[in-house]
Structure 1
Amino acid sequence: GGGAYGPALTDVIVLGPEGRIFVTGPDVVKSVTGESVDMARLGGPEPHGRRSGVVHVVAETDDQAYESIKTIADLLGAQGSMAAKLPEVNLAGLLPESSKRAYDVHPLIEGILDANSQVQELHPKWAPNIVTTLGRFGGRTIGVVANNPLRLGGCLDSSSAEKAARFVRMCDSFGVPLLVIVDVPGYLPGVGQEWDGVVRRGAKLLHAFSEAVVPRVTLITRKAYGGAYIAMNSRSLGATKVFAWPGAEVAVMGAVAAIRVLHRRILADIPDDQRVAMELELAAEHEKISGGVARAIEIGVVDEILEPTVTRTALAQAILQAPANRGLHGNIPL
């Protein structure tokens, strides 16, 4: 019943294996709609952890639930202070050699955060194309928002934008600095996305970042295209600092997609068996003209190119040099 809104108004919901949350129970559902459903399928860990996004953490046992609560309370309540100099690792080794290969971003997040420290991912199964994690970085609590190319290629969609927006608002309300790891090809296209309110729900992420006053640093690892780049804590949204690794691409769209628009008449006249080769040739020329990350620095959308071997200290210094503010707002359940 209405008591279900109690947990929904809290900052973080941890659901144990026998936990159930629903506004109307199975009997009411059956009498009104004729649907037969049990309590677990209606409001248990699977629907709320994977489908609805109501629950932040699903625990397999009660003891695990208590441990998650302790970790979250410690990360938010005892945030600590950040060291100015951090031990470095070669983070490039955590990405595949080919820039076209998908990969799981979790090892990269673990490599950036302190080794063997407290970490708690929120909403791991809901909208997994973006990862939202609380962890320790240089001894201090930070919030990490990262595109995950392993799921939907890392595209933003309506659910992932809403998930990230809620996380950004929570971190801002608790004074937790943000690290945004960007590898995004754009927004997920499709009729379903438009009907699902990607404009309205995607705007939540832009609003959350633009209003956040905590230090928020962006790292572009491989690519940042189009409107999705803007939404991922870009310079235009007031990012504290935007770093990029060598070879990162910042553009309205990828080179191949761009030349298909710019040179569509030329490509239309090319025989089918030669079109792919011509596209690659035109794309290579386009990449030279667009200028890559050097051009991004020139026009002010990227502040500095970082080598993966010195990234951790540079990120820490950028956070330390920014004012340690805290958002003067509540934590609305977006």
Structure 2
Amino acid sequence: GDDADGATVEAGEPDPGSLPSTVVPDDEKTPFDVRHLIEGVCDAGTFLEVHARWAKELVTGYARLDGRAIGVVANQPKQKGGVLFVDSADKAARFINTCNAFNVPLLFLADVPGFMIGKAVERQGIIRHGAKMVSAVSSATVAKISVVVRKAYGAGLYAMAGPAFEPDACIALPGAQIAVMGPEAAINAVYYNQIQAIADEAEREAFVAAKRAEYAADIDILHLASELVVDAVIEPDELRAELIRRYAEAAGKDRCFSERHNPITPA
């Protein structure tokens, strides 16, 4: 039933045709439409997208989860690989601040290779705009739950409310990876000279494969869970039930951290 402020209505059901296990591809490079994942986790038909035609590499909008109103911030892998740009950082910052102002809990669905790099975005001020998003995430006092869907690399992990910002929970799906960068890029960057120095192609491939395996073991999601970097590793189709429980628990948390709020927002 409805509560006093109308934040909760009769619980709905997720879209049975959008089961997370079927919509999320195993390969992190395979694009998919994150809106299908939202429909498969939230109450079907309740997702109201905000700024749908602007900065499409990030999806923002309101939805209901078991009748409870939430704000969703999700990377969109089928647009520019889900990389964060200047506009998507601004879009996220505004949406997160709006949710915080109106006491709407936030759900982050992270599938992000990081922020865009290069001269063009640096001229546009990617650092300053990215800082706005990170500032909004870190200063929001509403319930925040972050889900690492397949990957969260570099500063993208911070921007999507990763463990460093102590969200109410950080959950990962079984194939998720949290790292500075992916195994492929990391090994190419760190061992470039050594790789180039190996003349025999088979030997070079073996060297690269061994180093990638070593790196992958370090960022193994179960290893990170054992060190409490992430709070839980959840099967995709159990994600909805887990989120419902986590938000119910977060609802009872005292959020009166400070009587004064004077954010110095990056310009």
TM-score (norm 2): 0.85
After superposition, the C-alpha distances for 1:158-185 in whole angstroms (9 at most, x for unaligned) are 1111100100000011110111000111
Aligned to 1:223: 151
Aligned to 2:187: 259
1:112 Cα offset (Å): 0.9
CA RMSD of aligned residues (A): 2.7
- Cα gap change, 1:307/1:206 in structure 2, threshold over 3 Å: closer, same or farther? same
Aligned to 2:34: 105
Which SS does the other structure have where 1:168 is aligned?
Answer: helix
Aligned to 2:44: 115
Q: Within 2, Cα distance between the matches of 1:206 and 1:297?
A: 23
Q: Within 2, Cα distance between the matches of 1:239 and 1:98?
A: 27
- Cα gap change, 1:98/1:291 in structure 2, threshold over 3 Å: closer, same or farther? closer
The answer to whether the Cα contact below 8 Å between 1:88 and 1:313 also exists between their aligned partners in 2 is: no
After superposition, the C-alpha distances for 1:287-312 in whole angstroms (9 at most, x for unaligned) are 12x14112322443211111112111
1:227 Cα offset (Å): 1.1
> What residue ranges of structure 2 are gaps of 5+ in the alignment?
none
Aligned to 1:246: 174
Instruction: Flag the structure with larger Rg.
Output: 1
Instruction: Report the number of matched residues.
Output: 253
Choose from 142, 154, 158 the match for 1:214.
Answer: 142
Q: Taking every aligned residue pair, what percent have the same amino acid on both sides?
A: 36
Residue identity in the other structure for 1:163: K
Q: Within 1, Cα distance between the matches of 2:200 and 2:98?
A: 52
Aligned to 1:95: 24
Aligned to 2:110: 182
After superposition, the C-alpha distances for 1:127-170 in whole angstroms (9 at most, x for unaligned) are 11110011111101110000011111111111111100100000
Choose from 90, 93, 100 the match for 1:165.
Answer: 93
Residue identity in the other structure for 2:187: I
Aligned to 1:285: 214
The answer to whether the Cα contact below 8 Å between 2:14 and 2:41 also exists between their aligned partners in 1 is: no
The answer to whether the Cα contact below 8 Å between 2:15 and 2:44 also exists between their aligned partners in 1 is: no
The answer to whether the Cα contact below 8 Å between 2:85 and 2:126 also exists between their aligned partners in 1 is: yes
Q: Within 2, Cα distance between the matches of 1:311 and 1:260?
A: 34
Choose from 110, 128, 132 the match for 1:204.
Answer: 132
Q: Within 2, Cα distance between the matches of 1:295 and 1:229?
A: 17
TM-score (norm 1): 0.69
- Cα gap change, 1:291/1:238 in structure 2, threshold over 3 Å: closer, same or farther? closer
